[in-house]
Amino acid sequence: MTRQIFVNLPVRDLARTRSFFESLGFEFNEKFSNDEAACLIVGDGRYVMLLAENFFSTFTHKPVCDARSATEVLVCLGCDSRAEVDDLVARARAAGGSVPRDAQDHGFMYAHAFEDPDGHIWELVYMAENAEAA
- Provide the 8-state DSSP code for 58: G
CA distance 30 to 36: 12
pTM given for the model: 0.87
How many domains is the chain built from? Answer: 1
Q: Average the pLDDT over 88-102 and give the result.
A: 97
pLDDT for 71: 87
- Measured between alpha carbons, how far apart are the two ends of the chain, in Å? 30
The strands making up 74-78's β-sheet, listed across from edge to edge, are 74-78, 121-127, 109-115, 104-105
pLDDT for 129: 82
Q: Tell me the CA distances in angstroms from 35 to 53, 120, 124, one per residue in order.
A: 12, 20, 28
CB 96 within 8 A of CB 12: no
Host domain of residue 65: 5-133
What CATH number corresponds to the domain at position 36?
Answer: 3.10.180.10
Inform me whether the pLDDT recorded for 122 exceeds 70. yes
Choose between 129 and 100: higher pLDDT: 100
